[in-house]
Structure 1
Amino acid sequence: MLQQYHRIQVAIDGSSESELAFKKAVAVSKRNNAELLLVHVIDTRAFQNVSSFDSAMVEEVSETSKKTMAEYVKTAKDDGLEKVDYFIEYGSPKSILGREFPNREKVDLIMIGATGLNAVERLLLGSVTEFVTRNATCDVLVVRTDLDNKPALKADK
């Protein structure tokens, strides 16, 4: 019996890695007749260091995110995917993408881009992708190639 996925989560953060994950997630969702859930996390910890914290800043980031996510939904629908929606979450990307969102939304596959951080940044910050692969309770597919399965990411130097 072939594995059939029903609710596929893909993390969108504006990086080229998340773009690859998005494109593959659309293809996998179409093949599985699955619902695609696009998730963007606004890391609220980034605002804690801003001395002149202003709620207008959060609103501006939220509005930009909504427009970007709506474009992703349109792209997926233009490519023939019928069941697609987006979510904008606030908090820690690691815990939201790896635990909270997939559990709340009953996700059965997470597709996520390979880390865009360099080796030093991974050491200091930790990789969201690594956290998700270690902590998710559903299948996780880390995307490293384009739609033709050609390596699309540069190796760390």
Structure 2
Amino acid sequence: MLQEYNNILVPVDGSYESELAFKKAVAVAKRNDAHLHIVHVVDTRAFQNISSFDTSVVEEVTQNAKKTLEQYAREAKDDGVDKVDYSIEYGAPKTIISKELPTKLNIDLIMIGATGLNAVERLLIGSVTEYVTRMAICDVLVVRTNLNNQKVDPKKGKQKVTK
């Protein structure tokens, strides 16, 4: 018996790897006739050290995220996924992606890119992906390849040759 997924969560952060995860999530949602939830988490911890905190920074980040998420939702619908929504969340990405949203949205699969944009956090306290794979309350698929299951160099957009 094949596993069927009903609610798929795909976090996106603008990285090439999250783009790969999104494309694969669209394909899996389409095959499973699943609901695709696209999320971008604004890490509010990044703003805690700004002494003269300006809400316009958060508003700008939110507007940029909204444009990107609308584009992703449109692309998913154009590819044949009927049930698509998106949200912008605020807080710690690790817990929001691994616990809060899966509980709130009844997620049964998280599809996440192998790495994201925040290299500093990855070095200091571990990646969001690593945390999600350990702590999520549902299945997690870490995406490392394109739709043809080929590792792609994000700088060149071409398949990497491995020996």
Q: Cα deviations across residues 114-133 of structure 1 (Å, max 9, x unaligned)?
A: 01469875331310000000
Native 8 Å contact 1:42 1:91 kept in 2: yes
Rounded Cα–Cα distance in structure 2 between residues aligned with 1:42 and 1:134: 21
1:81 and 2:66 aligned? no
Identity of aligned residues (%): 66
Rounded Cα–Cα distance in structure 2 between residues aligned with 1:10 and 1:119: 20
Q: 1:45 corresponds to which letter in structure 2?
A: R
**Runs ≥4 residues deviating over 2 A:** 116-123, 152-155
Structure 1: segments with no counterpart, 5+ residues: none
Rounded Cα–Cα distance in structure 2 between residues aligned with 1:119 and 1:15: 11
Q: 2:115 corresponds to which letter in structure 1?
A: T
Rounded Cα–Cα distance in structure 2 between residues aligned with 1:12 and 1:115: 11
Matches within 5 A, 1:7-156: 7-116=7-116, 122-152=122-152
Q: 2:105 corresponds to which letter in structure 1?
A: E
Q: TM-score, normalised by structure 2?
A: 0.89
Rounded Cα–Cα distance in structure 1 between residues aligned with 2:116 and 2:9: 19
Q: Cα deviations across residues 55-76 of structure 1 (Å, max 9, x unaligned)?
A: 1211111111111100100111
Q: Cα deviations across residues 85-104 of structure 1 (Å, max 9, x unaligned)?
A: 00110000001011111111
Native 8 Å contact 2:13 2:117 kept in 1: no
Q: 1:152 corresponds to which letter in structure 2?
A: V
Deviation at 1:51?
2.0
State the superposition RMSD in angstroms. Answer: 1.9
Q: 1:48 to 1:108 in 2, by over 3 A?
A: same
Rounded Cα–Cα distance in structure 2 between residues aligned with 1:5 and 1:48: 37
Native 8 Å contact 1:117 1:127 kept in 2: no
SS of the counterpart of 2:152?
coil
Native 8 Å contact 1:144 1:153 kept in 2: no
Native 8 Å contact 1:145 1:153 kept in 2: no
Rounded Cα–Cα distance in structure 2 between residues aligned with 1:120 and 1:65: 21
Q: 1:111 to 1:153 in 2, by over 3 A?
A: farther
Q: 1:114 corresponds to which letter in structure 2?
A: A
